[in-house]
Structure 1
């Protein structure tokens, strides 16, 4: 039976995910700017017309926009899209100009820009560290508990007790490593290296496609070899070790994201799998019905996604700014304003195109295009 959380709970969950993560991201920029003496004119959660706000004693306007799909910090001196000195900026009094973003050396500007994504990663590490403390560290050995009959593992001749050492040339230390690798490689033929009775061997197998449907009616296609795990080993984690495990897990999530993007770019995975705000809203509503632990884990995943995407070297994103600062550091002079302006126009067009694509995908996943197709069919 398909269960749905309802529109009200979905919207509430979406706000509870996006709002805090955007706030944390922008707070990273704000605090780094304040550390280096840059005045912030505005700190906004959401875009568009101001719904509520106040001005603090430093002159910063804190506000909430009506469209909760992002946010921004407007630093003093940001008088153009590329944040470069202009005639208007040069006309400012020297004392006021010294407190602007453009007046700071390139390394300080880079830290201010990078602070947003970095704080997103730190929040995810804090959450994952908390999970490690609460639930321990599961390290199921990369040993075949059972080669499930009728699966690729059984067809390849794997048997209980075989210790998997590598799949597709990648070293496997735990069963979780195998799951992460296989899950995103449905249909690929891989080499499996294993040890049986102290002797090394290898075999070729094609990862099957496992089609699944969850309680919310979502359909998934994941890779499946058909290896059941051996008995899991869960050990308690101390306070000092928890951050180490959290960093490791964050790195594993980022690695999966990079590999998935690579599969989309090379055509091995469909662009239809890309989702946008509507998908995040849907998943947020579903996860909050599964309990607060599932919802908080989703916060960590979305925070990692937000940090990762913002570090991509695309103009308009933080990574685009950092790319230009790196060029400036090497050349010892800023990139020409005209070149930056055209780059930012291209980046803006790319971001809008991506948003249009993921929105079309989201609407398709919600069944809108099938419904419209049905209405247009001749009776």
Structure 2
């Protein structure tokens, strides 16, 4: 990808994220104007402004810390350490009723929720891309000698329950997915109910966690299985074994040595075994249109890059199982809310391996948006992901913690009970202290997000290196 294309994609991702922040803060801004509160600044991102302009007595600014935004309201709880000193102190301004404060605080999450509904309606009309992993809990691949294999699970098994939880899909974001229930499992053995040939059975795989370095997130539980992923040829490398065998774009590999396969991982595994030079060629059953035929193939090492392992030279066709679905607006909102509750529950549950370290921040969100913008049907993914993020933004901001909107609402209720406001100076210390803690936490999460992005980019560059085979005489 060219530098210009990368810059454009990143700018698109930043625009998508900041649109969510802008609409949330716009809710606070409009409500404050409506209720007669003094508005000093409308800022996207925190910290000292790198750009600002004053219009009608309000400073509009862009901060240098990419961590949300704020509307500076001196008559409510301020955060001078983050927002800067206000021109007028709360004591110098007219009192604001607790009800007005609640309305202003609630308006941000309300606008985020309304934006989520708007995006959900659009997704309902234009469709959401879904693959086999999103719509059916059927195993497409089980790694031989892995934990799932040793427990008796095989490709083609339909998973009904994991640890007693009903299963609807293979992969996240649904909490009713195989992957989610495995990574959030609590025991040493994971109870899996499956259906094979019309009969129900149980398997009890143990789990494996990969070792990670101090600068990486802790690995989560795995049992080494994968979803259905049709092995359809997208291209073959010139002079490669696949090219010499006559494979073409659109060919589907349906069996290896006579055994039916459901995932391209089966072909990749057979290829990997051929690093052992004593492995004989395999027989692929290939479907081309309505015709099926067999081809014998043996992996070979390319000339470029050097020291590259033996491969078949097949480039797989991406997203062969994707279809468009049209979930209703409320279905999308409900699914997003359930996943947020499930995530929070998993984080606070000390019996599983998920912790706050597994959460993602602004960098992760930008990365996800960037990946979506680069993909086919990316704009549809962006719309769907924006539903999830807006519901997330609305719900998490309602937590009754200082700095968050829920904290402002809680303070207003305390004011009603006490019949007087909390001392502004004490409130400023509390707000600013929590804001600094929040930004510190976000910086900690960003450290892992950036590391993941860099390592993933390196892997992609290696995977995209030109591969060349010598001509066969």
Question: How many residues end up aligned between the 2 structures?
Answer: 340
Q: CA deviation at 1:196?
A: 7.0
Q: What is the aligned partner in structure 2 of residue 289 from structure 1?
A: 374
Conserved 8 A contact 1:185-1:223: no
1:127 aligns with one of 104, 119, 134: 119
Conserved 8 A contact 1:182-1:207: no
Q: What is the aligned partner in structure 1 of residue 334 from structure 2?
A: 248
Q: Take 2:19 and 2:167, find their aligned partners in 1: how far apart are those partners? A: 36
| CA distances 1:162-190 after superposition (whole Å, capped 9, x unpaired) | 66443223233455622452464489632
Q: CA deviation at 1:350?
A: 1.6
Conserved 8 A contact 1:183-1:223: yes
1:109 aligns with one of 101, 105, 116: 101
TM-score, normalised to structure 1, is 0.68
Conserved 8 A contact 1:276-1:358: yes
Residues 1:127 and 1:26: Cα distance change in structure 2 (over 3 Å):
same
Conserved 8 A contact 1:312-1:318: yes
Conserved 8 A contact 2:191-2:205: yes
| CA distances 1:328-348 after superposition (whole Å, capped 9, x unpaired) | 455555445565345324413
Q: CA deviation at 1:284?
A: 3.7
Task: Give the 5 Å matches for 1:87-102.
Answer: 89=90, 91-92=92-93, 97=94, 102=95
Aligned-residue RMSD, C-alpha: 4.5
Q: CA deviation at 1:63?
A: 1.8
2:70 aligns with one of 56, 69, 72: 72
SS class of match (1:205):
coil
Q: Take 1:13 and 1:247, find their aligned partners in 2: how far apart are those partners? A: 24
**Max Rg structure:** 2
Q: CA deviation at 1:36?
A: 3.5
Conserved 8 A contact 1:145-1:160: yes
Conserved 8 A contact 1:287-1:294: yes
Residues 1:266 and 1:198: Cα distance change in structure 2 (over 3 Å):
closer
| CA distances 1:120-160 after superposition (whole Å, capped 9, x unpaired) | 23323432443233226969776646673635444333568
1:61 aligns with one of 39, 58, 62: 58
Residues 1:178 and 1:65: Cα distance change in structure 2 (over 3 Å):
closer
2:390 aligns with one of 300, 303, 322: 303
Q: What is the aligned partner in structure 2 of residue 205 from structure 1?
A: 205
Residues 1:37 and 1:13: Cα distance change in structure 2 (over 3 Å):
same
2:353 aligns with one of 268, 287, 290: 268
Q: What is the aligned partner in structure 2 of residue 354 from structure 1?
A: 441
Q: Take 1:247 and 1:182, find their aligned partners in 2: how far apart are those partners? A: 21
Residues 1:207 and 1:77: Cα distance change in structure 2 (over 3 Å):
same
Q: CA deviation at 1:24?
A: 0.6
Q: CA deviation at 1:25?
A: 0.9
Query: Tell me, which stretches of 5 or more residues in structure 1 are unaligned?
Result: 212-218, 369-379
Q: CA deviation at 1:260?
A: 4.9
TM-score, normalised to structure 2, is 0.56
Task: Give the 5 Å matches for 1:24-63.
Answer: 24-47=23-46, 48-49=48-49, 51-55=51-55, 59-61=56-58, 63=60
Structure with greater proportional helix content = 1
Residues 1:159 and 1:224: Cα distance change in structure 2 (over 3 Å):
closer
Q: Take 2:423 and 2:90, find their aligned partners in 1: how far apart are those partners? A: 16
Q: CA deviation at 1:354?
A: 1.0
Conserved 8 A contact 1:133-1:236: no
Conserved 8 A contact 2:138-2:156: yes
